[in-house]
Amino acid sequence: METIKTNDYTITIDNGLFDNIAQLLKTHTNGTCHIIVDSKVYKLYQESLKKNLEAINYTITIVRDGEGSKSFTTYQDTVAKLIQKGIRRDDLLVALGGGVIGDLCGFIAATLYRGIPFVQIPTTLLSMVDSSIGGKTAINLPQGKNLVGAFNMPEAVFIDPEFLSTLEENQLRSGLVEVYKAALLGDKNLLEDLKVDRLDNQVIKRAIEVKRIIVEQDPYDQGTRLVLNFGHTFGHAIEKAHNFETYTHGEAVAEGIIMALQIGVDQGITPNALCHEIKAILLEKHLVTEPLLNYKDYLPYISHDKKMSRDGLRFVFLKDYEHPVIKTIDQGAL
Ligand SMILES: NC(=O)c1ccc[n+]([C@@H]2O[C@H](COP(=O)([O-])OP(=O)(O)OC[C@H]3O[C@@H](n4cnc5c(N)ncnc54)[C@H](O)[C@@H]3O)[C@@H](O)[C@H]2O)c1
């Protein structure tokens, strides 16, 4: 068993942890556990869910799987169901699923009755190493992603890597890109270890450690936490340009990482050799495929939200391994 202590909560990683989930949840509430789960995860795990929760009071609320559920409609609908089920302020909300469920459930937990404690049980690689960590919760608006949200730390994060056995290959790759991003930002040795193709609990732990350290320096995203956006400015633009269909989040971010490296070279920040080395790794691991996308095609899709300061686009470059730099650039100069 691996544990990581953050300033606010503990993250536990253990194979088979879900079999003991009732015990773990009991340490966080004397009330009812309200599980929010997506339809796909529910279908796959309903038997073990029923068996593992036998010893506690619980309810299950199922939402449709997919990004579309990070919406006001699903928020309102889910909250209505929870109220109908008699949810109280001293109950516990439980997010069982990927980043969509974590973000939605966390936002409900932040807002329903002005706050209900919640725990995260991430079931995708992306949610294990990224979205369940750091306390950002949100839903989307027609105007853009994650525009309404709250900082809301969970009581705990329980990671059972055995969930990954049912994850589709492209979703696994999507999460792996975030592991690579973490390695590039803060753990060069992890990059070495990833060369041998092993995704074990240590890899998950080390990727989380990188995020934990960055988040704890800037929990409310006032400055340095932006480095976690490495590859995401163009990553989000690519997702948007292709209507969130052609590329998974991670696949788009992998292309976005290469674009950030290339622009970094043009700006005199990223050494050419570093750019080539990282590009070669991402190609070799099939996280991107040739022909690579051209960043100029995606400039019109860059979102003008929190990445924009009054002076221009706040962009994350890589000066060296473990040395991200944030620089404001004039988008017209790209
Ligand atoms: N809060 C944050 O800090 C943060 C960080 C990064 C991303 N995000 C958000 O996370 C979301 C993406 O998360 P995601 O990639 O986990 O997507 P997701 O939650 O949509 O899950 C991807 C797919 O995998 C399925 N799935 C989940 N677990 C499974 C399992 N064990 N076996 C089989 N299928 C399974 C889901 O049903 C879904 O179809 C986005 O909305 C993004 O904005 C949030």
pLDDT in tens, 120-179: 999 999 999 999 999 999 999 988 889 999 999 999 999 999 999 999 999 999 999 999
Q: Using most ligand atoms within 8 A of CB, pick from 103, 125, 251 the residue to mutate for ligand 1.
A: 103
Q: Which atom of ligand 1 is nearest to the CA of 40?
A: 37
Burial (CB count <10 Å: 0-12, 13-18, 19+), residue 279:
middle
What is the average per-residue pLDDT within 92-113?
98
pLDDT at 22: 97
Q: Is the pLDDT of residue 233 over 70?
A: yes
Q: Is the pLDDT of residue 308 over 70?
A: no
Distance 98 CA to ligand 1 centre (A): 3
Return the residue whose CA atom lies nearest to atom 33 of ligand 1.
Answer: 167
Q: Strand 58-63 to strand 33-38: parallel, antiparallel, or no bridges (unpaired)?
A: parallel
Q: Is the pLDDT of residue 331 over 80?
A: no
Q: Is the pLDDT of residue 306 over 90?
A: no
Measured from CB, residues less than 6 Å from any atom of ligand 1 are 38, 40-41, 44, 65-67, 70, 97-101, 103, 123-124, 126-127, 130-131, 134, 136, 145-146, 163, 166-167, 171, 174, 249
pLDDT at 332: 77
pLDDT in tens, 75-88: 999 999 999 999 99
Whole-angstrom Cα distance, residue 268 to residue 82? 53
pLDDT at 49: 97
pLDDT in tens, 10-51: 999 999 999 999 999 999 999 999 999 999 999 999 999 999
Nearest to 38 by CA among 167, 148, 150, 178: 167
pLDDT at 57: 97
Average pLDDT for the chain: 95
pLDDT at 143: 84
Distance 127 CA to ligand 1 centre (A): 6
Whole-angstrom Cα distance, residue 128 to residue 121? 8
pTM of the model as a whole = 0.96
